[in-house]
Amino acid sequence: MSLDQSPEARRRRAGLPNGSRPPFRANGSPNPGAHGTGSNNPGIGAAQAAARAELRRRRASAYRHLRAPRKRGRVLRIVLIAITLFAAIGAGTVGAVFAGYNAYKGQLPDAATITNMEPEIDTDVYDNAGGLIHVFHNESYRHIHVDLTQIAPYFKDAIVAIEDHNFYNEGSWDLARLVESGIADVTHRGASLQGGSTITEQLAKISLYGGADPPQSIDYKIKEIVLGNEIALNFTKDEILDMYVNRIFYGNFAVGVGSAAELYFHVPADKVDLAQASMLAGLPQSPTSYNPLLYSGDETINPVAKSRQKAVLQAMQASGYITQAEGIAAYNEKLTVYSYATSEPNYDPDFISYLETYLNANFPEYASPGGYEIHTTIDQAKQNLAQSTVTKLVSGERVKENMGDGALVSLDPQNGEVLAMVGTWNYSDPYFGQVNEAAAVQLNMGSTTKLFTYTAAIASTKFTMTTPILDDYFKFPIPGSAPYSPYDDDRHTHGVCPLKMCLGDSFNIPAVKTEYATGTQYIANTELAMGVSSLDQNCGPDGQYVNWPTPDQWAATLGSLTCGITLLDLADGAATLGDLGVQHNPMPVTSIVAQQTGKPVWTYNPAAAGRQVIPANVAYIMDEITSNDNNRIREFGRNGYLTLNPRRVSAKTGTADYFMDNLTVGWTPNLLTAVWVGNPQRSCLQQKDVPAMKAAIARGHIVEAGEVDYTYPFSPNDLAKYGLKPAHPSDPECGHLDGVVSGYSGAAPIWHAYMSAALKGVPDTWYKEPADVVAVSTGQGFDDSDFYLPGTQPGASTNCTYKGPTPLPTETCTYAGPNAAPPPPTTSPSPNPSPSPNPTPPILPTPPPH
């Protein structure tokens, strides 16, 4: 369709009124195309000027109207082109970013494994009443894990408010903080680089570098962001916060809020109040600067830490967690903070050292920090009593008797549980205080070893408690060497004594004669079965010195072994007699519990652990011999240190060669205690004085008869007679005991004092006589019965019987107990029965030499 080209139509399209002529230009030219600037019609009026202005307005409007659609189309095309370009560029960029993200992700730990990166959790050690006595922890830190639900809400609010107040509303990283931090890092504003990390990123940082300072680099920051993002994708906010508050460092060896609460305030994390929580929450930013313990003068807390606490309280108020009044009250609350030393349990160090050894040998998986509760057998009341008793009596005799040290072990003989252990009179002693003489040192047990000799002798049926033995000198042969000639401690002989009195008075020669007839190997195996495991433990740097006695090592019954045995083993062996022949290995642990689950991973079962290694009747006879005060009157008198009248108690003393070691072991059915006193170092002679001593002895200058050469255990008093001084004059922990000449006067007073107090209020009980024991009354009143294995009593016939629960291989009489074989079926007698032969008596053992 063509446009109307008539003048009128053109005027309409131009916006002119109908019938109007084209306006003249200002110069009056009738030619609309003229370009003159002047006017040939100066008389033009205002109306014409107005008309021209209107025309221009309408033309401009029409132009804009016609051009607008064309402009929008152009802009749209530009936008589409830009989008296309950015899309092309963006696709490459996104691909590159995605590839880079995955490349960094591949260098990082799997976020799902972050839960396994918690520091080693402390293992708590408790006594038998549930009191905390020690903590096994990493050398560099202590760490208690506390679930977020078990942390005081005050602390959760405080840590979020001061560390990351948008934590529950933001992603894994905060762009504004990150940009601000980045600008500061690039421009190096401030003395140190700023942090822009959220709690999630800080958890990522801990997971990447633990407690170490991370490198300040873009590469590291990208890794932190990537891992933080992965953590955010794998865990809830509460799970992230739980891991974070349990892994950050609060100073003074405390990792995690649980450790910090216990360390600084001695309260669990769920019991901290607002003041304590705000103090703790301020520490992670700079544990050294904000250390609450850095104060002096009249201050009670580090003023810088106090200022930080104020900032935390203000942040909590700004976040709406507390009111201003609550914040002011918390800030004004006086806090008492404790040092690491006072927060570290350090009870019963000798028992703890023994416990560590036991765990490493039997439960290595629980011996290190790992989040366990180890419930021990230690009775804190008995432990405190034992320590105070040993310390008091040893300290009173240290100089006068040259009694440098003492040790004590107390067991429950019914189950082997270690109730008390004192390894030294003073754990802080600068020379030997931290040597555990109770469990870690093999000692000469002296005459206490006779317990095992006589137990084996009676079990062998070669001896009874009334077998007469001549206490007179005898030379015991040793092939290839001079014979062994023992003597009694008082250097006298005492004629014939029944075995019960030879043992009670602790005469040496009868003990060696009994050993000679019974056999050293039989006795040693009996001893080992009774729990004396150190008998089979060698000594020396490479274990080159054999402790097990040779067949002709006759001094073994007097305690003279190459290495000796431990006090704990002596106690355990005697405890076998105390439980009528049932042996329990010494037990320091009742249960081990996993903290995370609260479930036991191991529990002690005494019934399953016990083993009948000695016949009950043999053990009972030994209990009767060692508890009868009549058997030791000659050497120890009546009602002395080895009695607990009116309570019945078994006891035996021991004294090592040269009076080096003094011992006493004794028991009731429910408590056994072994005590040692002596010196950790054999001789006080200094190495530099050895030539002088050799020369003096060569000249015949002998102070005591036993000084064969310079190896004699010289005491400080001995050296003074030679004009010499010991290495530590003020600490007599070397040489033999001076005034104490037996276990009775050395260790027995400690044993008596401890047992008397420990058994106070405990019912007085004694053993029930086994059914397979033959009692023969002597008619002498006090403890007038002697006890025998069936068939070994005086005048026993060959047709004797015994009852008991089961038949025993050591018995010579016929077993008639409940498990006896049924008699053969009866048959009708023959008309002329043949006479039965007389019974043939068994061959009795060869009597021992007297």
Would the pLDDT of 53 be above 70? no
Closest CA to 383 of 324, 340, 427, 338: 427
Strands 123-126 and 372-376: parallel
What pLDDT was estimated at residue 187?
Answer: 46
Q: What is the pTM of this model?
A: 0.77
In which residue are the tokens 């189950």 written? 415
Q: Which residue has 């865990």 as its token pair?
A: 235
* CA-to-CA separations, 379 to 126, 366, 390, 410, 645, in angstroms, rounded: 10, 22, 16, 10, 24
pLDDT exceeds 80 at position 176: no
527 pLDDT higher than 80: yes
Residue 23 predicted with pLDDT over 50: no
Q: Percentage of residues in the chain with pLDDT exceeding 70?
A: 78
- Look at residue 624 in the predicted model and tell me its pLDDT: 97
Supply the mean pLDDT for the chain: 83
pLDDT tops 50 at residue 257? yes
CA dihedral sign of residues 738, 741, 746, 749: negative
449 neighbors 654 (Cβ within 8 angstroms): yes
Which residues lie across from 801 on neighbouring strands?
814
The answer to whether residue 588 scores a pLDDT higher than 80 is yes
Residue 399's pLDDT is 80
Q: pLDDT-derived band of residue 298, with 50, 70 and 90 as boundaries?
A: confident
Q: What is the mean pLDDT of residues 238-258?
A: 96
pLDDT, mean of residues 317-323:
97
Tokens representing 615 are: 């016949």
| DSSP secondary structure of 244-280 | HHTTSB-STTEESHHHHHHHHHSS-GGG--HHHHHHH
CA–CA distance, 468 with 476 (Å, rounded to integer)? 19
Looking at residue 644, what DSSP letter applies? B
- C-alpha to C-alpha distance for 187 and 194, rounded to whole angstroms: 11
Cα–Cα distance, 292 to 339 (Å, whole number) = 9
Asked if 563 and 539 touch (Cβ cutoff 8 Å), the reply is yes
Q: 417 or 219: which carries more pLDDT confidence?
A: 417
pLDDT at 81: 46
In the structure encoding, which two tokens stand for residue 38, read together? 């002047």
Lowest mean pLDDT among 51-55, 322-326, 570-574, 638-642: 51-55
Please tell me the predicted confidence (pLDDT) of residue 66. 36
Quote the CA–CA distance of 697 and 656 in Å, as a whole number: 23
Residues 6+ apart with CB under 8 A from 20: 11
Q: Give the closest residue to 343 by CA, choosing from 266, 428, 291.
A: 266
Share of the chain above pLDDT 90, in %: 61
Mean pLDDT across 73-85 = 48
| 7: its two tokens | 């003048």
- Between 433 and 34, the more confident residue is 433
Give phi and psi for 671, each to the nearest 5.
-155, 130
Rounded Cα distance, 453 and 303, in Å: 70
Other Cβ atoms closer than 10 A to 576: 31
- pLDDT for the residue numbered 342: 82
Which pairs count as long-range contacts for 737-740, CB under 8 Å and 24+ apart, including other chains? 737/401, 737/402, 737/403, 737/659, 737/660, 737/662, 737/677, 737/678, 737/679, 738/400, 738/401, 738/402, 739/397, 739/400, 739/401, 739/402, 740/397, 740/401, 740/403, 740/659, 740/662, 740/677
Give the model confidence (pLDDT) of 676-729 as tens digits: 999 988 899 999 999 999 999 999 888 877 788 999 999 999 999 999 999 877
Q: Is the pLDDT of residue 127 over 60?
A: yes
Residue 13 banded pLDDT, cuts 50, 70, 90 = very low
Give yes or no for residue 826 having a pLDDT over 50.
no
CA triplet 111, 113, 114: central angle to 5 degrees? Answer: 70
Sign of the dihedral defined by the CA atoms of residues 218, 222, 225, 228, in that order: negative
CA 112 to chain centre: 30
Polymer length of the chain: 850
The one-character DSSP state at 390 is H
Confidence class for position 781, pLDDT limits 50, 70, 90: low
Residue type for 797, please? S
Structure token pair of residue 294: 């850095």
Between 297 and 847, name the one with better pLDDT.
297
Give the confidence band of 444 by pLDDT, cuts at 50, 70, 90.
Answer: very high
Distance of CA 729 to the CA centre of its chain: 37
pLDDT band at 171 (very low <50, low <70, confident <90, very high): low
Rounded to whole angstroms, the Cα distance separating 753 from 675 reads 11
Lowest mean pLDDT among 75-84, 116-125, 313-322: 75-84
d(Cα 255, Cα 516) in Å, to the nearest integer?
Answer: 63
